[in-house]
């Protein structure tokens, strides 16, 4: 076999994988927000969940994209574990469409469709308005070109006449269970290495259609692909939260269970699947096209029947994976640690935007918790408790700065990916939001420092000053509550009215207290030193409310599609 043919084989596989990735990326850019809403809205029960996973995977032509997307949704708390399991089951069915497209490519010269699609694609890309459709057509064209080249390369390789190759495969006993296990493991390892079950399926079709590989061993390779493809979602979930890792494990459990029962009835099930396309697996001479259709038929039958068996056991699967992966008993209280956007999930940029939005919502809530500690600090009289509380607030402020940097770094990585224009605008708004929330954290620490100065001095606020500071802090906390409420809901009727109303009340109170402070100092009600700390607290609360208003304004820029 010449080096040129090997390069053609590898190059056509690369075209195939690139085409599928381009199709998936362009479809996600075209319908990213809609896909998110579909996944969230159509998973009301296990049957609609399966249907949703099937339709989304058939649309984006990638079960990996759907599975990682689903794990991301679980990580963000938008899907329950049971819903995610049903979607993943549907994704396994949806991905079988790829095998049928490939089998069609092996039955006739599909490259005749490529060049018109390339021409139309480049026209749409230059029109800009329809560039994502053009990107999709380019991806489809590369996919079809890769398939057509694979088919022709398979013929050129003349594997059926290569005695060394024939001797290698004939060294495996077709009736041996060990042979089936060997090819199953080989399929799993190959899929894990190339991170594409489609590429391994294409290789399997070449080997079977050239008569080198018996259909039984080819189907064993396909079974292995079903296990190898689960590795991707498990790798994506390694650094995610507990529920996301459980969803990824459920995907592996689902496929491994299917492989086990198929191995028990291996030959009868293969005979059944081959019978669906009129193929006799025991025949000595087979049509190459019919062999490729038999592989696609087996792939579909396996996933459909496996789903039909397990769909009634989703609650049991949920309990099993929960038993295997125990919940962490750590309290996440006020710690400023990333929860939703750990590194392994940034596979689908459009979904990563949603991940970041959820993380920012968490950031806002923890900042409000920090403000609650500051309010408690105001009334703390025990010196030891006061010092410990102040040090805790100081640490939280430092962690808040780090959290801002982590989210910003993540958003920068996302913005460097292929995003739709809407998503790019969302990323810019999110950058503004995290900057303003970090300023809220700075204000909390400034308030704590002022309270510490008052605590360490000999003079104290009057009861009226305490009451006024408490009232101002209560209003500020109301503003933070409104901010967090807006960041964690998806209604279309979000407005800035309530936040602006609170901001007006705070401004009015600040102005009135400043005026009264001047009068009280003149009348010797309290010292000038106490008056400066008092007004510092009042003014810092007002600044904090300004930052909150800025966060809400940025949130309103993106709420329609998030």
- Return the HEC string of 152-197: HHHHHHCHHHCHHHHHHHHCCCCCCHHHHHHHHHHHHHHHHHHCCH
Q: In the predicted model, is pLDDT for residue 411 greater than 90?
A: no
Kindly list the domain boundaries of the chain, sorted by start residue.
Answer: 3-324, 348-556
The pLDDT value recorded for residue 27 is 63
Q: In the predicted model, is pLDDT for residue 436 greater than 90?
A: yes
Distance CA 177, CA 433 (A): 59
Residue-wise pLDDT tens digits, 321-369: 888 887 665 444 445 566 666 554 445 666 677 778 888 888 999 999 9
CATH architecture of 348-556: Up-down Bundle (1.20)
Residue-wise pLDDT tens digits, 47-63: 877 887 787 777 665 66
Q: In the structure, what pLDDT confidence band is assigned to residue 403 with cuts at 50, 70 and 90?
A: confident
Distance CA 272, CA 279 (A): 10
Residue-wise pLDDT tens digits, 150-173: 667 666 666 555 666 666 667 777
Q: In the structure, what pLDDT confidence band is assigned to residue 75 with cuts at 50, 70 and 90?
A: low
Residue-wise pLDDT tens digits, 463-501: 999 999 999 999 999 999 999 988 876 655 678 888 999
Which one, of 284, 262, 283, lies nearest residue 273 by Cα? 262
Q: In the structure, what pLDDT confidence band is assigned to residue 36 with cuts at 50, 70 and 90?
A: low
Which one, of 120, 108, 140, lies nearest residue 22 by Cα? 140
**What percentage of residues in the chain have a pLDDT greater than 70?**
77
Please tell me the least confidently modeled range out of 295-299, 511-515, 540-544: 295-299
Q: In the predicted model, is pLDDT for residue 23 greater than 80?
A: no
The pLDDT value recorded for residue 468 is 94
**Residue predicted with more confidence, 133 or 494:** 133
CA pseudo-torsion sign 27, 31, 34, 40: positive
**Longest Cα–Cα distance in the chain:** 110
Distance CA 540, CA 446 (A): 7
Provide the token pair at 386.
Answer: 């006061």
The pLDDT value recorded for residue 561 is 45
- Residue with the two structure tokens 């400066």: 532
Mean pLDDT, the chain, integer: 80
Q: In the structure, what pLDDT confidence band is assigned to residue 539 with cuts at 50, 70 and 90?
A: very high
The pLDDT value recorded for residue 126 is 82
């Amino acid at each position: 076999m010449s080096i040129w043919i090997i390069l053609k084989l590898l190059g056509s596989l690369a075209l195939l994988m690139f085409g599928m990735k381009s199709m998936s990326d362009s479809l996600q850019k075209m319908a990213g927000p809609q896909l998110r809403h579909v996944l969230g809205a159509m998973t009301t029960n296990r049957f609609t969940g399966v249907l949703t996973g099937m339709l989304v995977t058939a649309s984006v032509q990638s079960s990996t994209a759907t599975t990682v997307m689903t794990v991301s949704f679980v990580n963000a708390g938008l899907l329950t574990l049971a819903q995610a399991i049903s979607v993943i089951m549907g994704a396994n069915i949806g991905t079988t469409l790829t095998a049928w497209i490939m089998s069609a490519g092996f039955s006739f010269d599909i490259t005749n469709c490529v060049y018109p699609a390339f021409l139309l694609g480049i026209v749409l890309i230059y029109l800009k308005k329809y560039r994502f459709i053009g990107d999709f057509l380019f991806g489809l064209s590369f996919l079809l070109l890769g398939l057509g080249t694979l088919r022709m390369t398979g013929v050129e390789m003349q594997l059926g006449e290569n005695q060394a190759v024939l001797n290698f495969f004939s060294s495996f006993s077709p009736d041996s269970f060990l042979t089936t296990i060997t090819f199953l493991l080989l399929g799993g390892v190959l899929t894990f290495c190339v991170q594409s079950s489609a590429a391994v399926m294409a290789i399997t079709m070449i080997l079977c259609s050239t008569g080198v590989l018996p259909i039984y061993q080819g189907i064993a390779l396909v079974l292995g692909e079903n296990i190898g493809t689960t590795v991707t979602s498990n790798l994506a979930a390694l650094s995610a939260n507990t529920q996301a890792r459980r969803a990824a494990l459920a995907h592996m459990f689902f496929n491994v269970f299917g492989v086990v029962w198929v191995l028990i009835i291996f030959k009868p099930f293969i005979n059944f699947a081959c019978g669906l396309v009129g193929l006799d697996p025991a025949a000595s001479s087979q049509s190459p096209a019919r062999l490729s259709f038999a592989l696609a038929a087996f792939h579909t039958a396996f996933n459909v029947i496996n789903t039909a068996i397990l769909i009634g056991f989703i609650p049991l699967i949920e309990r099993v994976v929960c038993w295997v992966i125990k919940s962490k008993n750590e309290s996440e209280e006020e710690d400023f640690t990333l929860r939703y956007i750990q590194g392994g999930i940034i596979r689908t940029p459009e979904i990563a935007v949603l991940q970041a939005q959820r993380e920012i919502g968490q950031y806002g809530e923890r900042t409000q918790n920090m403000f609650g500690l500051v309010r408690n600090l105001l009334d703390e009289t025990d010196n030891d408790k006061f010092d410990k509380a102040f040090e805790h607030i100081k640490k939280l402020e430092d962690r808040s700065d780090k959290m801002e940097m982590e989210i910003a770094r993540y958003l920068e990585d996302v913005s460097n990916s292929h995003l739709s224009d809407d998503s790019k605008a969302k990323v810019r708004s999110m950058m503004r939001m995290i900057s303003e929330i970090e300023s809220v954290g700075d204000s909390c620490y400034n308030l704590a420092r002022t309270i510490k100065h008052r605590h360490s001095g000999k003079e104290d606020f009057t009861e009226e000053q305490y009451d006024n500071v408490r009232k101002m802090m209560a209003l500020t906390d109301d503003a933070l509550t409104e901010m967090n409420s807006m960041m964690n809901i998806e209604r279309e009727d979000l407005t800035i009215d309530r936040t602006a109303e609170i901001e007006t009340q705070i401004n009015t109170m600040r102005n009135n207290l400043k005026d009264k402070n001047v009068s009280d100092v003149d009348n010797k009600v309290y010292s000038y030193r106490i008056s400066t700390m008092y007004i510092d607290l009042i003014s810092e609360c007002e600044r904090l409310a300004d930052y909150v208003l800025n966060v809400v304004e940025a949130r309103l820029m993106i709420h329609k599609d998030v």
